[in-house]
Amino acid sequence: MTEESGATKALRLHRELTAIWGTPPGIARATAVNHSILGRRFMITAAVFFAIGGLLAMLIRTQLASAESVFMDEGLYAQVFTMHGTIMMFLFAIPLIEGFAIYLLPKLLGARDLAFPRLTAYGYWCYLFGGTMLIVALAWGVAPDAGWFMYTPLSSSIYSPGINSDFWLLGVTFVEISAVCAAVEIIVSILKVRAPGMSLGRMPIFAWYMLAVAAMMLFAFPPLILGSILLEVERAFWLPFFDPERGGDPLLWQHLFWLFGHPEVYIIFLPAAGAISTILPVFAGRPLMGYRAVVLAVISMAFISFGLWVHHMYMVGISHMAMAFFSAASALVAVPTAIQIFAWLATLAHGRPRFSVPMLYVFGFFFIFVIGGLTGVMLAMMPFDKQAHDTHFVVAHFHYVLIGGFVFPMLAAAYYWLPLLTGKRPVHHLSRPAFWLIFAGFNVTFLVMHLTGLLGMVRRAHTYTQASGLEIYNLISSIGSFAMMFGFALVLLDIILQLRFGRAFSPDPWKAGTLEWAMPTPAPSYNFASLPHLETRADMLEPEREGAELAAGRGYLGFVRDGRMETLAVGMGSGRLEQVILLPRQTFLPLYTAAATGLFFLAMLIKLYWLVPVALLAVLALFLAWTRATGSDTDIGPLPAGRGVEAPPHTESRNAPSWWAMVLTLAADATLYASLLFGGWFLWLSAPNWPPAAFPAPDVSLSAGAIAALLLAGATGWRARRLAGAAPQGSLVACATSHLMATLLIAWIAMTGMPDRAGHALSATCFAVLCYAGFHTALGAVFALFGLWRDRQGFVSAARSLDLRIGKLWHLYTAAAGIVAIVFVHGFVMLGSGGGVP
């Protein structure tokens, strides 16, 4: 009788949680904010883009299969290879990583969802709309055609006068918004939204990998976003950031691009390595050897990857000292990679491996990635790189690293976690033939390409002559590529058949030790009926026992409270329970906000500039509308969290996830700002046609007034936070007024003190820096007025000061950034023009 009543209670809890966490059918599916749905959407959309990119690759190999081919003309070929690279890097690899992490992390961490479900939904819609923009360009025959890294001056308006390059610059920037959103979401969720008891030292290894990857995304993407903005501004408004005749420098684009581009290689590799570190111990039958060494190796790789960007610029004429430094750094990154490989091999050596389909792809990864790593060390050596630069040897190395180091592990991960998504165990009738077709086809395609590169075949060339003697090698590569394509088609068919005919199975089919198998399959919308408490490392658990306990509601939050969506937050390092996170319900707002963001990019693309500020105001209004469902107008106090403990809601906690999200957002923002300032100093030091003719320095009195207004805005924003629950209204009004005054003064300096902005990069750079500062001060006024409104509506008290604390961060950052901008402009004008004239 007791057992029956317990089962009835568990079933009732399941129904109540499903009613709250589930997403309605029909058009209401567009309101989904659940991480499982959004993760699947990311992965499926990325797979569609992968298929499109793969078809483009087949067109490339068809063109190169024979000498002097007329299958495609030069212009069409340029569009095809540009879009192939763009799709694979920006629309497939990074979004697939995001989707994989979004789907899996809460399940591994013992949470019901990520920290910011609506932000995840907004990121998905931005990704979908931005990617669709690029595919539409391809279908209309106006796809970007300047190469997937868009080197200037080829991508400038002089040499690419059409709309092609604009599609790349605006579409990719639109997609990058999704990446930055995902980075903030993943970092905060890993650090804060974990099961109680899961300290950093007990986290599953995959979480460590994704923490490093998300941090890299946070700091690597802003330089590319900045470069895209500057190049689009140059194309649209003729400001000369990259034009050497007017004080710009094409090398500035290369620096900004590769500040993103080389860390991106490791951003792509590390999640796949994290999947290997999770899967391989399961099939070896023992925990990962050298857990702490692997964690340190991952962190080291993340740091080192940011010191390698000039590895791609050996041919641009940098000094021998700089080349020696970057050559050594490029070789050094092999050390943390080797640590991970040896840890995997040691795990296999001390275990009793089971050779299932996921392990086939793991061993395929070992073979291919080691070859790619060895050729990478070769290319890190400057003398060899000069010989192989821009040849098919580099193309072969690149694909060995990215397909071997990313696609093979992700296929292993797909087969390993597919039962979690489907609730069915794979049949594997087609899995093994598909693997061998992909493995053999890949090596036939790209192993031969090393030879064609050493024989002198350059990349991005649409044809070659009969006399070159390269036709037989290219034909072999093309045959291999089609075999690989058939292998991927078999994988797709295999997955479809598994969805249709796969067998049901008991929980934890692989006998793993991680939390994602301690839930029903397919995973329910709420993940866990109650949340676990961990006493050991999260890859050494007993999922079957844990799952029974959690399903019965004997963990944390094993109940439904007032129809709320709740999960828990913990201390970053300790894993001690800190707060109850109240998550927002399903809503159309992320879709509407992404559509308004898309309107901004579309207006820029078709040059309807009057529509741009309208779109920006719509985006701002919609983001403000998000806040209607957050916060509370009364102090709630500690809430029962289950297991006999209580915790305050996140709105009354000093370390709320949204506060940390603002810290991380400002870190990414500061990275973009630092990249802009770096660009200015780089032009002053290296660009031709400097110094320009002297022109008036900005008005000192206006600049002093702006600095005074910025200082006052920062001080009053700080004071408003201290007065939360008392009388912050006066300080908030003063803060908003100061921000508006600073905005007007900075705008006046930018418009009147920067003459001939299209004439020289000095004036253009100062104008860009001031626009950055002015935009942030204008938003500072919005933050202050928002805090005032929230206070008047009763959402602010001494305990509920989160809105003002987030605003304080913005006010202080804006004040510092604005002062730096004004000082930079005065110093830059004085140095750049020989002191200026009064």
Q: Where are the alpha helices (DSSP H) in 110-202?
A: 117-139, 164-192
**Has residue 93 got a pLDDT over 90?**
yes
**Has residue 835 got a pLDDT over 70?**
no
Round to whole Å and give the CA distance between 371 and 663: 40
pLDDT tens per residue across span 169-227: 999 999 999 999 999 999 999 999 999 999 999 999 999 999 999 999 999 999 999 99
Question: Angle CA(411)–CA(417)–CA(422) in degrees, nearest 5?
Answer: 115
Question: Which one is predicted more confidently, 380 or 740?
Answer: 740
With CA atoms as reference, report the closest residue to 545 among 419, 535, 284, 280.
Answer: 535
Give mean pLDDT, residues 271-292.
95
Predicted confidence at residue 832, as pLDDT, reads: 66
Share of the chain above pLDDT 90, in %: 78
Mean pLDDT of the chain: 92
Contact between 458 and 391 (Cβ < 8 Å):
yes
Least confident of 25-39, 302-316, 342-356: 302-316
pLDDT tens per residue across span 760-777: 999 999 999 999 999 999
pLDDT tens per residue across span 363-376: 999 999 989 988 98
Where residue 443 falls among pLDDT bands split at 50, 70, 90? very high
| Cα dihedral across residues 788, 789, 794, 797: positive or negative | negative
Give mean pLDDT, residues 467-488.
95
Report DSSP state, residue 557. Answer: T
pLDDT tens per residue across span 558-594: 999 988 999 999 999 999 999 999 999 999 999 999 9
**Has residue 4 got a pLDDT over 60?**
no
Contact between 581 and 657 (Cβ < 8 Å):
yes
pLDDT tens per residue across span 249-273: 999 999 999 999 889 989 999 999 9
**Has residue 42 got a pLDDT over 50?**
yes
Residue 402 tokens read as: 């990215």
Q: Which of 346-355, 406-415, 721-730 reaches the highest mean pLDDT?
A: 406-415
Give mean pLDDT, residues 27-52.
96
Q: What are phi and psi of 445, to 5 degrees?
A: -65, -50
AA identity, residue 119: L
Inter-CA distances, 722 with 197, 657, 734, Å: 33, 20, 15
Predicted confidence at residue 5, as pLDDT, reads: 66
Q: Taking each helix axis from N to C terminus, what angle separates 471-501 and 431-454, rounded to the nearest 10 degrees? A: 160
**Has residue 1 got a pLDDT over 60?**
no
Predicted confidence at residue 836, as pLDDT, reads: 42
CA 611 to chain centre: 28
Predicted confidence at residue 833, as pLDDT, reads: 62
pLDDT tens per residue across span 629-678: 888 889 999 999 999 999 999 999 988 999 999 999 999 999 999 999 99
| Cα dihedral across residues 101, 105, 111, 115: positive or negative | negative
pLDDT tens per residue across span 70-82: 999 999 999 999 9
Residue 94 tokens read as: 């990074």
Work out the burial of residue 2: count CB atoms within 10 Å of its CB; fewer than 13 is exposed, 13-18 middle, 19 or more buried: exposed
Report DSSP state, residue 66. Answer: S
Least confident of 179-183, 447-451, 458-462: 458-462
Predicted confidence at residue 300, as pLDDT, reads: 94
Where residue 330 falls among pLDDT bands split at 50, 70, 90? confident
Round to whole Å and give the CA distance between 657 and 649: 11
Burial 683-702 (b: 16+ CB within 10 A, else e): bbeebebbebeebebbeeeb
Contact between 814 and 666 (Cβ < 8 Å):
no
Residue 641 tokens read as: 């969290």
With CA atoms as reference, report the closest residue to 709 among 759, 778, 799, 621.
Answer: 778
Residue 794 tokens read as: 């009763």
The DSSP H or E segment spanning 639 is strand 639-642
Least confident of 3-7, 112-116, 342-346: 3-7
Predicted confidence at residue 837, as pLDDT, reads: 39
Contact between 647 and 641 (Cβ < 8 Å):
yes
CA 521 to chain centre: 28
**Has residue 319 got a pLDDT over 80?**
no
Contact between 541 and 109 (Cβ < 8 Å):
no
